[in-house]
Amino acid sequence: MAIPEQERDRFCRVLHEQRTSLYRLALSITRDPADAQEAVAEAVCRACERFHQLRERDKLPQWLLRITANESRRLCKKRGRTVPLETLAAEPADPAQALPDLSLWQAVQSLPRDQREAVVLFYYEDLPAEEIARIVGASPGAVRVRLSRARAKLRELLKEGEHG
Amino acid sequence: MDELDQALRAMAKCEAFSLPPAYETAMDGLEEQARRGTLARRGKRRLGRRMLLLAAAAAVLLAATAVSMDFWNVRVEDVLVGQEGSSYRVNGEIPVIPIERFSDAVTSAVAEVSQKMAEQDPILNSSPGYWFRTFDSWTDCEEFVGFPLDNPLELTGLLETANYSAIAQNAESLDEESRRHCAVALRGNTEGELQHLTVDTGYLMGEIRIQMTVSLYPEGSGMEPGTGASWNGEAGFEVTSSVTGGGIPYTLVATETPKNDYYNDFSSADAYFILENGLYTLHAVSPGRNSGADVKAALEELLALF
């Protein structure tokens, strides 16, 4: 089912505005640019197909993020079975390699996947824990715990980076 | 939000993040197709046999829940169980609160949110409109909200007070703000209207962590009421219904957590019920996948207090 004609312009505008957010979220989950692109493309197709299910039109940006997160995780799961050993050896990212000039994005790469998702949505997208919970499919409490753990780790990493 | 959060958000805003040209091109194409109404899925996925069986089981569960919905007034819906993910939604006849019942402090917070939203760039901030504050006590939260919120957990000797996420308040990983017992989160819109307010608080019952969330929906809210849970991987949900000590119907979902690397080894259960003002969620977590019965029993003991 396609998007109603009168809604298409808005959908495209929101999608355009969300390009970076969707890709960054997908990349934070998949850690692979090609997979991130595929996840976003698949998410956009799904969003078009299911647009009629979106009851709150003003939540379109968050809805797109949620679908993108789901597609990214699905792709990770699929890739998990066939990922080459040499790729696995490169993970998890070693933030120490990036020191002393450590960016937040580099530091985020050293976190576990659930914390990366939460951090990207909280610090880059300014979303509240409750909204993040809806997107990642966890309780707000669980999101806050993830953020708390991520915050402690980021504080440590960025401090190391400063004193590098 | 503490200084570190503010610093991290500032760093996030300043960091350059370039998109791959191929992605930009692909998105241009998708947008064009969406505008013309010609965008279609690139091949359907087929569900595996196991997933279909689980979906059928979920459908039976849904049917049973729907039948009992009128009495239990909280319903578990959209139950999905699959190898990739499992989830459910909770909805019900959640009361709507007249806006004048909320305190002036809430009104001020919403005005602050509205002003910030007007100042923010909607492209950089995809979901402004959020406000969060922690409090030392439940009474402080009630005072902030503007009316009493029933919480017998504050009075029982069964529990030890924890922070709002149900982590021991002396945990070294917590900063001063995170040690507080309660938290209020609210969402407003550009028109300065309150959309949703939640109050969180936490307790410990031995090794079992208990978090309670009260969701309040004001009159005129555009937000979809309800809550839910979702897991990566194949979870098992056992749904039971009963009444609290005070005769309030509740629905309890005991979750068999997925056995994968994504989750730590723990058991979880959630109880949902509606009191005078809003939707209550009691969330309990205990270490060990075999402790599900303990978690459920703990929740039932606490539900007897309501």
Asked if residue A112 and residue A96 are part of one domain, the reply reads: yes
Same domain, A44 and A97: no
Q: CA-CA distance, A92 to A3, in Å (whole number)? A: 40
Given this model, what pLDDT does residue B288 score?
84
Asked whether residue A29 falls in the same domain as residue A105, the answer is no
Alpha-carbon separation of residue B36 from A53, A96, B29, B31, B245 (angstroms): 20, 48, 11, 9, 58
What CATH number is associated with residue A164? 1.10.10.10
**Bridge partner list, B160:** B204
Is A128–B85 a contact, with Cβ atoms under 8 angstroms apart?
Answer: no
Strands (E), chain B: 74-81, 85-92, 96-97, 130-135, 160-162, 182-188, 194-205, 208-218, 227-232, 236-243, 249-256, 266-274, 279-287
A6 and A58 inside one domain: yes
pLDDT at B269: 94
Q: Is A126 found in the same domain as A59?
A: no
Helical (H) or strand (E) element with B106: helix B104-119
B46 in contact with A, Cβ within 8 Å: no
CATH number at residue A65: 1.10.1740.10
Which residues are CB-neighbours of B281 under 8 A, at least 6 positions away? A139, B90, B212, B213, B214, B215, B227, B270, B271, B272
Q: What's the rounded Cα separation, in Å, for the pair A15 and A5?
A: 16
Core vs surface per residue A119-152: b (16+ CB within 10 A) or e? bbbbbbbbbbbbbbbbbbbbbbbbbbbbbbbbbe
What's the distance, CA A97 to chain centroid? 23
* Positions in chain A whose pLDDT score sits under 50: 81-100
Which residue in A32, A29, A105, A34 sits closest to A68, CA to CA?
A: A29
Contact between chains at A56 and B224 (C-beta distance less than 8 A): yes
Q: Compute the distance between CA of residue A55 and CA of residue B189 in angstroms, rounded to an integer.
A: 17
CA of B126 vs chain A CAs: smallest distance (Å): 6
Residue B97: count of CB within 10 angstroms of its CB: 21
One domain, residues A77 and A94:
no
The token pair at A138 is: 């966890």
Domain boundary among A66, A82, A98: A82
Identify which of A5, A18, A123 has the shortest CB distance to residue B9.
A123
Give the range of the structural domain holding residue A150, as residue numbers without chain letter.
90-164
Judging contacts by C-beta atoms under 8 Å, the chain A residues touching residue B87 are 137
Cα–Cα distances (Å) from B77 to A126, B226, B272, in that order, read 29, 10, 13
- For residues A115 and A67, membership in a common domain is answered with no
Residues A104 and A49 reside in one and the same domain: no
Tell me which of A52, A82, A112 is where a domain ends.
A82
**Total number of domains in chain A:** 2
Q: Which of A78, A88, A72, A90 is nearest to A29 (CA)?
A: A72
For residues A26 and A96, membership in a common domain is answered with no
Assigned token pair, B277: 């003002």
Burial string for B130-139 (b: 16+ CB within 10 Å, else e) reads bbbbbbeebe
The verdict on a CB contact (< 8 Å) between B40 and A45 is: yes
Q: Are residues A106 and A76 in the same domain?
A: no
Nearest to A138 by CA among B258, B94, B176: B258
Contacts of A44 in chain B (CB under 8 A): 27, 30, 34, 39
Length reported for chain A? 164
Show the low-confidence residues of chain B (pLDDT under 70). 1, 40-72, 120-128, 261-264
Write down which residue in A82, A111, A143 finishes a domain.
Answer: A82
Both A120 and A156 in one domain: the answer is yes
Q: What is the structure's pLDDT at B98?
A: 93
Does a cis peptide bond (omega within 30 degrees of 0) precede residue A100? yes
Instruction: Spell out which residues of chain A touch residue B202, defining contact as CB-CB under 8 Å.
Output: 141
> A111 and A43, same structural domain?
no
